[in-house]
Amino acid sequence: MSLAKNPVLDKGDLNPALHVLTESISRALDCERCSIWFYSETKTSIQCLDLFILSENSHNSGMELLQKDYPRYFEVLKEERLIVADDAVHDDSTKEFAPNYLVPLNILSMLDAPILMDGKLLGIICNEHVGKRHAWTLEEQTFVGSLADMIPRIFQAVERKKAEEELRKANERLEYTVRTRTRIILSQKEELEHQIKMAKKIQGALLPATLPKSKYLDLQYLYEPMMELGGDFVDFLYDEENYTLGFFICDVSGHGVSAALLASMVKMSYSNWGSFIQNPEFGVVHIYESLAGKFAGHFITAILGTLNVKTGEGRMTNAGHCPPVLLRRGKKPQVFNQTGALLTDLIPLKLETVPFHLDPGDRLVLYTDGIIEAFNSNREMFSEERLLSNLDSSENETLDGLCQKVFSEVNRFMGVAHEGFSDDLTLLALERK
> For residues 432 and 12, which has the higher predicted lDDT (pLDDT)?
432
d(CA 143, CA 106): 24
pLDDT at 417 over 60: no
Q: How confident is the model at residue 193 (pLDDT cuts 50, 70, 90)?
A: low
Q: How confident is the model at residue 409 (pLDDT cuts 50, 70, 90)?
A: very high
Residue of 107, 135, 120 lying closest to 34 (CA atoms): 107
pLDDT at 396 over 70: yes
pLDDT at 418 over 60: no
Q: How confident is the model at residue 155 (pLDDT cuts 50, 70, 90)?
A: confident
Give the percent of the chain with pLDDT over 90: 56
Shared-domain flag, residues 238 and 113: no
Q: How confident is the model at residue 196 (pLDDT cuts 50, 70, 90)?
A: low
Residue of 158, 259, 300, 154 lying closest to 166 (CA atoms): 158
Task: Tell me, yes or no, whether 180 lies in a domain.
Answer: no
Residue 195: predicted pLDDT: 66
Is residue 415 packed enough to be buried (19+ CB in 10 Å), middle (13-18) or exposed (0-12)? Answer: exposed
Residue 306: predicted pLDDT: 97
d(CA 6, CA 169): 28
Going by their DSSP bridges, the two strands 313-319 and 352-357 should be labelled as antiparallel
Domain boundary among 133, 163, 193: 163
Task: Tell me, yes or no, whether 395 lies in a domain.
Answer: yes
pLDDT at 81 over 90: no
> Which residues share a beta bridge with 356?
314
Shared-domain flag, residues 410 and 351: yes
d(CA 251, CA 73): 53
pLDDT at 111 over 80: yes
d(CA 153, CA 151): 5
Q: Which domain holds residue 124?
A: 14-163
Shared-domain flag, residues 373 and 246: yes
Average pLDDT over residues 391-406: 92
Residue of 131, 289, 223 lying closest to 429 (CA atoms): 223
pLDDT at 378 over 60: yes
Task: Tell me, yes or no, whether 186 lies in a domain.
Answer: no
**Mind giving me the DSSP string for 184-228?**
HHHH-HHHHHHHHHHHHHHHHHHS-SS---BTTEEEEEEEE-SSS
How many Å separate Cα 306 from the centre of its chain? Answer: 21
Average pLDDT over residues 295-311: 93
The winner for highest mean pLDDT among 136-150, 213-227, 353-367 is 353-367
Residue of 242, 247, 153, 255 lying closest to 208 (CA atoms): 247
Average pLDDT over residues 116-142: 91
Shared-domain flag, residues 92 and 19: yes
pLDDT at 421 over 70: no
Residue 84: predicted pLDDT: 94
Q: How confident is the model at residue 256 (pLDDT cuts 50, 70, 90)?
A: confident
Residue 227: predicted pLDDT: 64
Task: Tell me, yes or no, whether 172 lies in a domain.
Answer: no
Task: Tell me, yes or no, whether 140 lies in a domain.
Answer: yes
The pTM score is 0.55
Total structural domains within the chain = 2
> Which residues share a beta bridge with 33?
53, 128
Residue 210: predicted pLDDT: 86
Query: What's phi and psi for 309, nearest 5 deg?
Result: -70, -15
d(CA 369, CA 383): 9
Least confident of 65-79, 130-144, 184-198, 310-324: 184-198
Least confident of 168-182, 317-331, 386-400: 168-182
Task: Tell me, yes or no, whether 99 lies in a domain.
Answer: yes
Shared-domain flag, residues 291 and 358: yes
Task: Tell me, yes or no, whether 91 lies in a domain.
Answer: yes
pLDDT (tens digit per residue) in 259-298: 888 888 888 898 899 999 999 999 999 999 999 988 888 8
Shared-domain flag, residues 269 and 324: yes
pLDDT (tens digit per residue) in 334-365: 999 988 999 999 889 999 999 999 999 999 99
d(CA 343, CA 251): 10
CATH number of domain containing 20: 3.30.450.40
Shared-domain flag, residues 326 and 245: yes
Task: Tell me, yes or no, whether 351 lies in a domain.
Answer: yes
d(CA 234, CA 266): 10
Instruction: Give me the chain's average pLDDT, please.
Output: 89
pLDDT at 200 over 70: no
Count CA within 13 A, CB hemisphere, residue 370: 28
Shared-domain flag, residues 159 and 306: no
